[in-house]
Amino acid sequence: MKSRRFARFIAILLAVLMALTLIYSAIATLTAGAVPTQAEIDRLREEKREYERRKLEIQSQINTIEFERMTEVAKKSVLDDQIMLTGLEIDNLSETIDYYILLISEKELEVLVAQNKEDAQLRLYKNRVRDMEENGVISYIEILFDSTSFSDMLARLDFVGDIMRADEMLYYNLIDAKNETEAAKAVLEDTKLEMEEELEQREDKQKELELQLDNANELIKQIEASLDTENALYLEVDAEARRIQQEINEKVEALRREEERKQLEEANRVRGSGELKWPIPSGGVITSGFGLRPHPVFKVNRQHWGIDIGAPHGANVVAADTGTVITSDYNSSYGNYIVINHGNGMTTLYAHLSSRQVSAGNRVEKGQVIGLVGSTGVSTGPHLHFEVSVNGQRVNPERYL
């Protein structure tokens, strides 16, 4: 009777342990490939420290007398660098937070597994205690008294010893399971606190970015408030726009000659459709059109070589058509800008980006993200300056969108 009861107890114990193993294996399978490592978080933190170091260098530059002696355009370039680094810090924090979200999910699963294991051990322990209360020590004596011989009694002594060791092991397994659960919960709470710190830092950086954008916009407004200064700025921007267009034409011509020399139709493999996609997927409206536009203060007209599309800072900018990136650069007028050659004599230009995500020579597909909306260069407020050129001449982009 007692032997059958003990055998049933052992069978239940093994069944529960096997079930826990299966649960843990299933959870591990579900999370395979999505488990972040501490090394990745450490790498992001090292990047963050580098951004902070570079920002301190820029702030030191801003605080010097030399900064005050710079032209307004040169000052704006320094502010653009500061804004770009703050944006990179925000991206870094967002990526770190994404890792923490995955890490928390993993730790929650570990707590679940540990709690299930503890609950199972507790059930086994309670069942055993209940059985001992019902039978007491007398059951062990009865087992020995039922011996039929001295050798049988020795065997039964070993059996009783096995039961007592199993009871002891059951107790210590329960303690271990409880400690494991508490440890998993503690790690989970620590991880959540660390993520909260990252969220607070990102919020602070967002406020810092807004202040930096306001400072940069104020500088441009100060420039525009002076006719002489604004005229000089316009001439500089217009000259830069013409230089960039000349550079685009030269690169397109160089590509054409290279294609002829190799007798390859390389451009055909990256040639666009000629029908352009709206470059900001989230929407945006045209705030300034192509052609002559009046100055907001002075009674003068200025040539605008593209269209301005208003959009939030950091919004995605995509390639309007398939093509090859021929320029990915920064200058004081256009800020961060990208030029794509689509073949058939057509190119598109994307300016004032907060960041560029493609390099010269990259092939891009229609709708692929190439950068983010910003306000770098001579720009008041975040927007995308978008140009289209056909056979070396800039044309109204609205005709192709």
Is the same domain home to 131 and 211?
Answer: yes
Q: What are the DSSP calls for 19-69, one per residue?
A: HHHHHHHHHHHHHTT----HHHHHHHHHHHHHHHHHHHHHHHHHTSHHHHH
Phi (first) and psi of residue 52, to 5 degrees: -65, -40
The verdict on 206 and 330 lying in the same domain is: no
What pLDDT is attached to residue 30? 41
Calpha distance 342→256 (Å, rounded): 12
In this structure, the answer to whether residues 193 and 266 fall within a common structural domain is: no
163 and 308 assigned to the same domain: no
In this prediction, residue 386 carries a pLDDT of 97
Residue 334's CB: how many other CB atoms inside 10 A? 25
Domain containing 355: what range? 228-399
CA-CA distance, 357 to 315, in Å (whole number)? 13
The pLDDT value recorded for residue 152 is: 56
Mean pLDDT for the stretch of residues 316-339: 92
With 0.75 as the threshold, say if the pTM is over it.
no
CA angle 89–94–99, rounded 5-degree value: 125
Q: Are residues 128 and 259 in the same domain?
A: no
274 and 204 assigned to the same domain:
no
| pLDDT for residue 353 is more than 90 | yes
Distance of CA 294 to the CA centre of its chain: 41
Question: How far is it between the farthest Cα atoms of the chain?
Answer: 121
| Residue 357 near residue 198 (C-beta atoms within 8 A) | no
Identify the top-confidence range among 182-196, 253-267, 306-320.
306-320
Residue 112 sits in the same domain as residue 206: yes
The confidence band for 264, taking pLDDT boundaries of 50, 70 and 90, is very low
CATH number at residue 299: 2.70.70.10
Q: Which of 222, 245, 266 is the last residue of a domain?
A: 222
Distant-in-sequence contacts of 35-39, Cβ < 8 A, 24+ apart: 35/102, 35/106, 36/99, 36/100, 36/102, 36/103, 36/106
Mean pLDDT for the chain overall: 77
Listed residues 191, 222, 253: the one ending a domain: 222
Residue ending a domain, among 222, 247, 275, is 222
The closest of 279, 382, 384, 377 to 323, measured between CA atoms, is 279
pLDDT score of 389 = 93
Question: Are 126 and 167 found together in one domain?
Answer: yes
81 & 217 share domain: yes
Cβ atoms of residues 382 and 372 within 8 Å: no
Q: Which residues contact 157 (CB under 8 A, 6 or more apart)?
A: 144
Q: How confident is the model at residue 41 (pLDDT cuts 50, 70, 90)?
A: confident
Q: How many folded domains does the chain comprise? A: 2
pLDDT digits (tens, 9 = 90+) for 131-154: 665 665 445 555 555 666 656 555
Same domain, 306 and 364: yes
Q: How far apart are CA 39 and CA 45, in angstroms?
A: 10
The residue written with tokens 């653009």 in the block is 80
| Helix residue ranges per DSSP H, 295-394 | none
Tell me: do 96 and 161 sit in the same domain. yes
Q: What is the pLDDT of residues 273-294, one digit of tens each?
A: 778 999 999 988 999 899 887 6
Min mean pLDDT across 44-48, 145-149, 209-213, 342-346 is at 145-149
pLDDT, position 278: 96
Query: Is the same domain home to 261 and 308?
Result: yes
